[in-house]
Amino acid sequence: MSLSLVLATTALLAAEPTSLPPGHPTIPPGTQASPAGMGAGANAATGALPPGHPTMPAGSPMAPGTPLPSGHPTVDANKLPPSAEELMKQLDSSEGLREREKTFEIASSLGKLYYTNGRNAEALAYLGQAQAKADGVRSLFLASRKKLGKAAIPTPEAANCGFTPGQALDAMAAVAQARAKSGDTAGAAACAGAALVPAVDVDVLMGNALYLGGDSAKALKAYERVLEVEPQHEEALYAHSSLLFETQGENLPALGAARQGFDALVQAHPNSQRAPMARELSVRIQEIAKAGGRKKWLQSRAEDRKVRLSQSTAQAAAMPPDAPRPLTPEMVDAVKNTERTPELEAGLTKLVEEGEEHLARGRYQEALANYTRVVPFQPENGRAKAGMAWALVGLGRPMGARVWSVALESDAGAVEKLGDTLLAKGDAKGARALWEKLAQDVPNYPNKAALQAKLSQ
CA angle 118, 119, 124 (to 5 degrees): 120
Identify whether residues 388 and 439 lie together within a single domain. yes
The predicted structure's pLDDT at residue 181: 95
Identify whether residues 20 and 153 lie together within a single domain. yes
142 within domain boundaries = yes
69 within domain boundaries = no
CB-based contact 50:150 (threshold 8 Å): no
CA distance 7 to 12: 9
Identify whether residues 237 and 222 lie together within a single domain. no
Identify whether residues 23 and 125 lie together within a single domain. yes
52 within domain boundaries = no
Identify whether residues 109 and 172 lie together within a single domain. yes
CA distance 225 to 341: 40
**Long-range contacts of the stretch 253-260 (C-beta < 8 A, 24+):** 255/285, 255/288, 255/289, 256/285, 256/289, 258/285, 259/285, 259/286, 259/289
Of 253, 280, 301, the residue at which a domain comes to its end is 301
Identify whether residues 223 and 235 lie together within a single domain. no
Chain centroid to Cα 131, Å, comes to 26
Identify whether residues 128 and 141 lie together within a single domain. yes
CB-based contact 188:180 (threshold 8 Å): yes
Identify whether residues 136 and 195 lie together within a single domain. yes
Of 204, 227, 250, the residue at which a domain comes to its end is 227
CA distance 258 to 223: 12
316 within domain boundaries = no
278 within domain boundaries = yes
Range of the domain at 254: 231-301
The predicted structure's pLDDT at residue 234: 93
Domains contained in the chain, number:
3
Identify whether residues 270 and 158 lie together within a single domain. no
CA distance 352 to 420: 15
The predicted structure's pLDDT at residue 263: 95
Q: What is the SS3 string spanning the chain?
A: CCHHHHHHHHHHHHHCCCCCCCCCCCCCCCCCCCCCCCCCCCCHHHCCCCCCCCCCCCCCCCCCCCCCCCCCCCCCCCCCCCCHHHHHHHHHCCCCCCCCCCCHHHHHHHHHHHHHCCCHHHHHHHHHHHHHHHHHHHHHHHHHHHHHCCCCCCCCCCCCCCCCCCCCHHHHHHHHHHHHHCCCHHHHHHHHHHHCHHHHHHHHHHHHHHHHCCCHHHHHHHHHHHHHHCCCCHHHHHHHHHHHHHHCCCCHHHHHHHHHHHHHHHHHCCCCCCHHHHHHHHHHHHHHHHHCCHHHHHHHHHHHHHHHHHHHHHHHHHCCCCCCCCCCHHHHHHHHCCCCCHHHHHHHHHHHHHHHHHHHCCCHHHHHHHHHHHCCCCCCCHHHHHHHHHHHHHHCCCCHHHHHHHHHHHHHHHHHHHHHHHHHCCCHHHHHHHHHHHHHHCCCCCCHHHHHHHHCC
CA distance 66 to 75: 12
CB-based contact 368:352 (threshold 8 Å): no
Task: For residue 19, give the nearest of 77, 67, 61, 63 by alpha carbon.
Answer: 77
Which residues neighbour 356 within 8 Å (Cβ) at sequence distance 6 or greater?
Answer: 367, 387, 418, 421, 422, 425
Q: Which residue type occupies 293? A: G
CB-based contact 262:281 (threshold 8 Å): yes
CB-based contact 245:263 (threshold 8 Å): no
Burial class (CB in 10 A: 0-12, 13-18, 19+), 389: buried
Kindly provide the b/e burial profile for residues 153-181, where b requires at least 16 CB atoms within 10 angstroms of the residue's own CB.
bbebeebebebeeebbbbebbebbbebbe
CA distance 71 to 168: 30
> Domain of 373: which CATH number?
1.25.40.10
330 within domain boundaries = no
Task: For residue 238, give the nearest of 255, 259, 216, 252 by alpha carbon.
Answer: 259
CA distance 385 to 414: 9
CA distance 350 to 355: 8
Identify whether residues 10 and 110 lie together within a single domain. yes
Q: What is the pLDDT along the chain (457 residues), one digit of tens a residue?
A: 444 444 554 544 444 444 455 555 545 444 444 444 444 444 434 445 656 665 655 544 555 566 666 666 666 656 667 777 888 888 888 888 888 898 999 999 999 988 888 888 889 999 999 999 999 999 999 999 999 998 999 999 999 999 998 899 999 999 999 999 999 999 999 999 999 999 999 999 999 999 888 888 999 999 999 999 999 999 999 999 999 998 888 899 999 999 999 999 999 999 998 899 999 999 999 999 898 888 888 888 777 666 666 655 555 555 555 445 555 555 555 555 566 688 888 888 999 999 999 999 999 999 998 988 888 888 888 899 999 999 988 888 767 787 888 888 888 899 999 999 999 999 999 999 999 999 888 888 888 888 888 888 7
Identify whether residues 116 and 217 lie together within a single domain. yes
Of 301, 327, 361, the residue at which a domain comes to its end is 301
418 within domain boundaries = yes
The predicted structure's pLDDT at residue 206: 93
Identify whether residues 288 and 346 lie together within a single domain. no
Chain centroid to Cα 293, Å, comes to 28
CB-based contact 451:412 (threshold 8 Å): no
63 within domain boundaries = no
